[in-house]
Structure 1
């Protein structure tokens, strides 16, 4: 009886979104390590008219310039496609926002494989980034995944279902990052390092695309409470008691939450933008294996942040939860400014255990400050604001890093810590303005 039951469960999972998510995340973590190493190799002999730049500084400048352009393309090109694909999904074409981005993932990974195999210029990846963005990219794929997870669960179990998806995503990323560096070192005499890694990554994305086309089924569990809006489901309140949406918009709290979100996004985005380049320079000078382990440390933060939400949400308010996460990031990234050895890098990352808590919780609080009918447009406006903020902070942090290479390469991390502390100010004000019942509602319910 046990074996048939397990077979039925395995068969049921096969038609769901989880296998696609596993293959996509595995392929993406392998790709991230490969891209980082390929960029380092191609920029090794970069030269600039400035004669005072050393060879390593020239390499760092070339790498940071590449990532600046690459990340700007990836952030900006998906905006309109994401809106169009999301609208198609809301009209009943639920698989479209899954299939189209996965096609972009596959083409982008194939592009890097062709760059390595045929020794194409690294600038080809800018074109691959455009294709990836026009397909909707991650900002289309991830909301579509969460939508399918929510549709396939009841109202009461929806938050748990979405959290399971988040934990699965982080766990797979951890495993993929750990093995990516070792796969990169597998050598093909005719093609060189990285080709096997990229072939595996491309095959994983091909399988995920085929699975989404032929096997994925969209199932919707009817809700016993149809009047509930999805925006309440998406909010991780500090209590298990549902929070009623206000009749009007609390504009002061909305503005404060927008300001905090943008300051924190600038801090995190600017620091992570430089971190991948920073670990390649002396005295760290990471190898492919170390790059994989470093990416795995980032995925571990993904897991510990969600565990932190589970633990802390029972005893603190949402505002305090955000402050805990911001403080965790501020301390870790400040310590990163002075990292000169690999063990110090992991010590700094260990201080970032709860760094991913703030943004989902800010969205949760934001959804509670507006009527249910305005929840979607408010959260979409926040996401677009963060996208456009990248136009400013990506080139700014890149140029600051290039200008401080000689005297203090960790200065950008200190700057990031300052922005995080500034972001804690509006959150503190919001915490004082929120009704105290949000903090004690669970105790009264018990």
Structure 2
């Protein structure tokens, strides 16, 4: 018996598909991010005098005054920090996406990972050298100039789409979202325990920040030296059928338009496209408004749990962050179940009601168990954005057909491609679909007749306009804010 049949991995090995997996980068990056988020909150709290007063103070008034002063200082810090993190990627994210599309796909992944590593190093140096908290603003600005999470997540979605076929692309992207949530859950669960490893020493949080730097370094090294850009799983172009004994070739009708062209009927009115554009605009506005509500609620939650009536310690803060990452899992299961029985609009309303009910209950939380009850009600908070993105993909076709002049003016950035080049070229089976060739003077059939076109006339070419949706902003990667 041949050894190759017994040991299939011996002999010439095919290209290992494991090196095209983006999942290790997502997992290690999210573990580093969850450790960093918890460490940043606890380090900032300690820097603003979180441990200056005793937990058993005899006079409650000074304690309340100190807590108010501490919360105000932490709020001011996070307002500036979040603004810097949110605005600086606007200067570089588009450029990184352009470089990634033009030169190499890993540009939009490696450069943001470098920014993540520098911000983790800045927090580590703050803990080691006791630098002022304001230096973290510069670290946030540097992270944003490297693209931030928006550029990173769009690059992840691009590589995930390239490494999967069209039939399994949605499943691949959902799995990446699940890995993001699971990695954030695991990192948040251990963050409080790692922070307490140095309690009683001046370098509190050293182990936590060192682990975050290590995970970020592993993600950057893997993406630089191990990760390979997968080849596109799109259908390859088939050979053109050549008819023996004839000159030239013949192409069948566009397979995407065969059924539409075979049916004789009046063309659709141009006013049909206007309501579709209105629906797309309304979906986008709804996603942005919902995203603003989510971010506004999530930014207040870490400040709420640090003081009375909850007054959480380091371990409880980590558990609270971990409860936010369960939304990725429960929302995924909710989409699988609800999509069988409800329409998209109903699913969007279920997710919005879930989030608003939990946010309303958070206003009356006075005990720890009430906080987790409110988080349990918000288990479907990720469904609206996911469903809106799916609904928009149904309304926006991957390619729209129109007449476009061959001599395209300079400065137009619409990416066009000849639609017939990627078509499935097959010989027509029915006489109604076949094109009858013209008969020439010598009695033969010319399968590719040449038409006389006046010189200087612009010939309309049939092209497909490809629309690329970036995974940033309100419609992509926003679930990172739900770690609370």
TM range (shorter): 0.7 to 0.9
Q: 1:254 to 1:26 in 2, by over 3 A?
A: same
Gaps of 5+ in 1: 230-245, 388-393, 395-446
Q: 1:78 to 1:115 in 2, by over 3 A?
A: same
Equivalence for 1:19: 24
Give TM-score, length-normalised by structure 2.
Answer: 0.70
Q: 1:81 deviation in Å?
A: 1.0
The 8 Å contact of residues 28 and 215 in structure 2, kept in 1 or not, is answered as yes
Q: 1:92 deviation in Å?
A: 4.0
Among 28, 43, 49, the residue aligned to 2:48:
43
**Are 2:159 and 1:148 aligned?**
yes
Equivalence for 2:387: 361
The 8 Å contact of residues 247 and 370 in structure 1, kept in 2 or not, is answered as no
Q: 1:159 deviation in Å?
A: 0.7
**SS of the residue aligned with 1:332?**
helix
Q: 1:10 to 1:185 in 2, by over 3 A?
A: farther
**Are 2:95 and 1:69 aligned?**
no
Equivalence for 2:177: 166
What is the distance in 2 between the residues matched to 1:264 and 1:163? Answer: 21
**SS of the residue aligned with 2:188?**
helix
What is the distance in 2 between the residues matched to 1:376 and 1:123? Answer: 44
Q: 1:182 deviation in Å?
A: 0.6
**Are 2:202 and 1:197 aligned?**
no
Q: 1:379 deviation in Å?
A: 5.0
- Aligned alpha-carbon RMSD (Å): 3.3
Q: 1:190 deviation in Å?
A: 5.9
Paired positions, count: 368
- Larger % of strand: which? 2
What is the distance in 1 between the residues matched to 2:215 and 2:346? Answer: 40
5 Å matches for 1:50-129?
Answer: 54-129=65-140
Among 325, 335, 346, the residue aligned to 2:351:
325
Higher deviation after alignment, 184-193 or 324-333: 184-193
Alpha-carbon displacement from aligned partner over 1:150-200 (angstroms, at most 9, x marks no partner):
100111011111111111111111111111111111117765221011011
Alpha-carbon displacement from aligned partner over 1:296-347 (angstroms, at most 9, x marks no partner):
1001111111111111111111111111110110111100000011111000
The 8 Å contact of residues 42 and 122 in structure 1, kept in 2 or not, is answered as yes
Higher deviation after alignment, 186-195 or 69-78: 186-195
What is the distance in 2 between the residues matched to 1:3 and 1:180? Answer: 43
Among 207, 210, 225, the residue aligned to 2:221:
210
Equivalence for 2:375: 349
The 8 Å contact of residues 329 and 351 in structure 1, kept in 2 or not, is answered as yes
Gaps of 5+ in 2: 1-5, 53-61, 238-253, 257-271, 401-464
The 8 Å contact of residues 291 and 474 in structure 2, kept in 1 or not, is answered as no
Q: 1:203 deviation in Å?
A: 1.1
Q: 1:257 deviation in Å?
A: 1.5
Give TM-score, length-normalised by structure 1.
Answer: 0.75
The 8 Å contact of residues 248 and 371 in structure 1, kept in 2 or not, is answered as no
The 8 Å contact of residues 150 and 473 in structure 2, kept in 1 or not, is answered as no
Alpha-carbon displacement from aligned partner over 1:34-79 (angstroms, at most 9, x marks no partner):
00101111122799xxx9x821111111111111111111111101
Among 310, 323, 338, the residue aligned to 1:297:
323
